[in-house]
Structure 1
Amino acid sequence: MAGIKIVTIGGGSSYTPELIEGFIKRYDELPIRELWLVDIPEGKEKLETVGALAKRMVKKARVPMEIKLSYNRREALRGADFVTTQIRVGLLEARAKDELIPLKYGVIGQETNGPGGLFKGLRTIPVILDICKDMEELCPNAWLINFSNPAGMVTEAVLRHSKIKTVGLCNVPIGMRMGVAEMLGVEASRVHIDFAGLNHMVYGLNVYLDGEAVTDKVLDILSAGAELTMKNIVDLGWEKDFIKALRILPCPYHRYYYQTSKMLEEEQKELTEKGTRAQVVQALEKELFELYKNPELDIKPPQLEERGGAYYSDAACSLINSIYNDKRDIQPVNVRNNGAIASIPADSAVEVSCVITKDGPKPISVGDLPVAVRGLVQQIKSFERVAVEAAVSGDYHQAILAMTINPLVPSDTIAKQIVDEMLEAHKDYLPQFFEKTVI
């Protein structure tokens, strides 16, 4: 049959309506015959709610895209052309633990950085690799487009432990480009940024407006107090002289590394006043799903952009469209480095601007990262590499090593204490660590 088959694992996500909107918008170029939304039985209510909204959206748009709901991943994957993954192993309850437990030890509690990022990776990577095994059997030529966090670590794992073609996606570069456009008072389509680094550790090396370099102008505006952040990261501003010295554009997540003590104070304050970010998101999701249940609703509601991950799904649609149509446009994605960033191993995952072709993304070479940021990026890459091996092997000592070398964790003793408490807290989702005796 003509047309494309796409499978979205984690189809009951609150982000799915954005995905549907993106596919509808591109239908003339991207003729999707079947879109399978797959979830676990525990997510039945959410999947059915989102699935019903998706069907209303497709009906309103009058596109012949069949929406299928399933709790059987293998049934859905057979013959797929593209598979997108947007899973949260342990749901938001697990995220709350990732954010809360580190704070007890005076350490940043955040879902993709520091201890929280490690444990999200330990839970997520085995599940993604199981999906890859099914894909190797049922749709070996399909592309895996992953935007499950921590996306860089997940991409690293798939590149090292699977034969499946994969690309990792993040909304941070999109948010940065849109933020810069707002700072300049122009349409985002006129702004181009050369991105390089790692997921949630990416820098804008050069900024262009209509092809003309405006990096210094943008940094001046940023250092004067302009906002460049995300819904889930508080904007504490930047020290003007620091930004002038750095001379490249930091991403919002760099605040955890360059403003650690202030961010920790802010998290502790937020915990007292509002609870963890996971609890805030639970309230947002509850509101969204109440909206989704309205049988009259047949569009993506604007409230979805209040989620920290807004624009993820649109990025996925753009990427799939560009691969399918060999567009050769430039998009920042997570891929195998292949020498694009000289100071990172060639076989490691990086987040970098790429030319998107029918054969996948081709990283654009940037040479060495500036010496001022190179060490931090290399340290985080070391953390990711060790974390991936801990996730795959269930090696307790590797988990402690990964925790200790993360720059947000102050000592080996605290690293061990956090690992021990978080292993116990997430025991149900970390079977690889409990098949052997933990010493």
Structure 2
Amino acid sequence: MKLTILGGGGFRVPLVYGALLTDRGEGRVTDVVLHDLDDGRLRAVARVLAEQAAAVPGAPRVTVATDLDEALRGADFVFSAIRVGGLEGRADDERVALAQGVLGQETVGAGGIAYGLRTVPVAVDIARRAARLAPDAWVINFTNPAGLVTEAMSRHLGDRVIGICDSPVGLGRRIARVLGADPKQAWIDYVGLNHLGWVRGLRIAGRDELPRLLADPDLLGSFEEGKLFGVDWLQSLGAIPNEYLHYYYFNRETVRAYQQAEKTRGAFLADQQARFYEEMRDPGAAALAAWDRTRAEREATYMAENRESAGAGERDADDLSGGYEKVALALMRAIARDERTTLILNVRNQGVLSVLDDDAVIEVPCLVDSGGAHPVAVAPLPEHATGLVCAVKGVEREVLSAAESGSRATAVKAFALHPLVDSVNVARRLVEGYTDVHPGLAYLK
């Protein structure tokens, strides 16, 4: 099978290839095409992959391509992990938002809206090309904001585009581990939007063990989310929120921490990865060792400002291993081989959440087989969660409308309606600031 990776010069691509190297079954991926607009980054990542494959007989063949149509043609799976504007664009998203006193994170709040506005037109073009050049391909989207981008692509690809994220997987794994259970044997009752969801139950052998966790303050405070949100707040919610909800529940403290940080997350990653790619210009450099070293630093500093504002301390070693590549591999195997499994994915609603229409992309457990991902019916959300989900989905729809129409006024509306933007005038200044620094937003008139 042929897998095309869009954003193939991206830093996290070796995680995906490493997962592919563990797959020895029939129908596995045998050809990987890396597509990127930056040939230098492509060559750097290809070197890392070559070192990964050196001791693995029958490793998938890797080729590189800067022509999108060439990369897409004949693909069985397309993995989309593009970053429109690069990490410099992410740093600009953060800087413009923080100057207005609001959050600039790449998927949440003002930063997420700015990123979506410049990414959606590119993602839609990719979806249209994929539908034409690889009509039987399944598109796996990891491009952020993942739920929003998946919904934009689904308007052209239907259910053949599926969004993935490692956050729910990591959350379920941590909860199961704390409860002394095997994560593979647990059913995770998780529902919401991408980076906006809650674990409301964790069933082991048919028994919901989450109440036991919520009733034990010591156990509840022993893992990442307990440290991040605080035991009292989790007990009040009666659920375990996705870590990204920290930006909503503790917004003032998080914005302050970001404003006081020496560098924003985007600026840090831009500098860090620039050093890696510069090191790769030396043909004698040990590519895999350099990549491993850089990745370890990246993972250890993930959400550092949030943990600092919450006094949560350093990340546990078990949480530094990523996970989205394992979700991607499990998804491809389930579809290609009809190896039925359950995964938390971003898919069209199809009536699962009654407060949203069928085409709204949500993040829920899905049964996956050769026919794709089928969302599982879930209980209604409590009112506080319903309000937040509906508000953010409304913002996503305004972003999609602005991207389609090129309307500056609609873009302002998207910012102004977001729960983390506190003034229409702030929204107007955000649009001005973002259009000043992002050439990719010149289409807004």
Structure 2 length normalisation: TM-score?
0.88
Indicate the SS of the match to 1:207. Answer: strand
- CA–CA distance in structure 1, aligned partners of residues 221 and 158 of structure 2: 46
2:348 is aligned, of 330, 333, 336, to: 336
Cα offset, 1:336, TM superposition: 0.5
Match of 1:232 in 2: none
1:66 is aligned, of 53, 61, 68, to: 61
> Equivalent pairs: percent with the same residue?
31
Cα offset, 1:392, TM superposition: 2.0
* Equivalent pair of 1:29/1:321 in contact (CA under 8 Å): no
Match of 1:17 in 2: 14
* Equivalent pair of 2:221/2:230 in contact (CA under 8 Å): no
Structure 2: 5+ residue runs without aligned partners?
Answer: 303-320
- CA–CA distance in structure 1, aligned partners of residues 92 and 48 of structure 2: 31
- CA–CA distance in structure 2, aligned partners of residues 289 and 188 of structure 1: 36
- CA–CA distance in structure 1, aligned partners of residues 178 and 394 of structure 2: 34
1:28 is aligned, of 14, 25, 36, to: 25
1:245 and 2:236 are equivalent in the alignment: yes
* Equivalent pair of 1:158/1:166 in contact (CA under 8 Å): yes
Cα offset, 1:114, TM superposition: 0.8
- CA–CA distance in structure 1, aligned partners of residues 79 and 394 of structure 2: 27
Match of 1:359 in 2: 371
* Equivalent pair of 1:22/1:313 in contact (CA under 8 Å): yes
- AA in 1 matched with 2:178: M
1:285 and 2:273 are equivalent in the alignment: yes
Q: Deviations over 1:54-99 (max 9, x none)?
A: 1232232111521101111111111111101111111011000111
Decide whether aligned partners of structure 1 residues 359 and 348 sit closer, same or farther in structure 2, where only a CA change above 3 A counts: same
Q: How does 1:72-87 map to 2 (within 5 A)?
A: 72-87=67-82
1:175 and 2:167 are equivalent in the alignment: no
Cα offset, 1:135, TM superposition: 1.1
- AA in 2 matched with 1:156: E
- CA–CA distance in structure 2, aligned partners of residues 296 and 394 of structure 1: 42
Decide whether aligned partners of structure 1 residues 291 and 176 sit closer, same or farther in structure 2, where only a CA change above 3 A counts: farther
Match of 1:150 in 2: 145
Indicate the SS of the match to 1:174. Answer: helix
Indicate the SS of the match to 1:28. Answer: coil
Match of 1:114 in 2: 109
**More displaced, 210-219 or 199-208?**
210-219
Cα offset, 1:226, TM superposition: 3.0
* Equivalent pair of 2:141/2:161 in contact (CA under 8 Å): yes
* Equivalent pair of 1:342/1:367 in contact (CA under 8 Å): no
Indicate the SS of the match to 1:60. Answer: coil
Cα offset, 1:382, TM superposition: 0.6
1:387 and 2:415 are equivalent in the alignment: no
Q: How many residues align?
A: 420
Cα offset, 1:164, TM superposition: 7.2
**More displaced, 19-28 or 406-415?**
19-28
Cα offset, 1:343, TM superposition: 1.8
Decide whether aligned partners of structure 1 residues 373 and 139 sit closer, same or farther in structure 2, where only a CA change above 3 A counts: same
- CA–CA distance in structure 2, aligned partners of residues 13 and 30 of structure 1: 26
Q: Deviations over 1:351-391 (max 9, x none)?
A: 11000011110000014212231111111111111111112
- CA–CA distance in structure 1, aligned partners of residues 30 and 217 of structure 2: 45
Match of 1:7 in 2: 4
Cα offset, 1:288, TM superposition: 5.0
Match of 1:264 in 2: 255
Cα offset, 1:295, TM superposition: 4.1
Match of 1:325 in 2: 337
Decide whether aligned partners of structure 1 residues 30 and 219 sit closer, same or farther in structure 2, where only a CA change above 3 A counts: farther
**More displaced, 47-56 or 250-259?**
47-56
Match of 2:221 in 1: 225
* Equivalent pair of 1:108/1:114 in contact (CA under 8 Å): yes
- CA–CA distance in structure 2, aligned partners of residues 291 and 168 of structure 1: 32
- CA–CA distance in structure 2, aligned partners of residues 296 and 96 of structure 1: 26
* Equivalent pair of 1:18/1:300 in contact (CA under 8 Å): no
- CA–CA distance in structure 2, aligned partners of residues 213 and 250 of structure 1: 17
- AA in 2 matched with 1:280: F
- CA–CA distance in structure 1, aligned partners of residues 249 and 414 of structure 2: 20
2:134 is aligned, of 130, 133, 139, to: 139
Q: Deviations over 1:202-225 (max 9, x none)?
A: 111211345431112333457853
Cα offset, 1:129, TM superposition: 1.0
Match of 1:316 in 2: 328
* Equivalent pair of 1:96/1:276 in contact (CA under 8 Å): yes
Decide whether aligned partners of structure 1 residues 96 and 379 sit closer, same or farther in structure 2, where only a CA change above 3 A counts: same
Indicate the SS of the match to 2:54. Answer: helix
- CA–CA distance in structure 2, aligned partners of residues 263 and 299 of structure 1: 32
Indicate the SS of the match to 2:443. Answer: helix
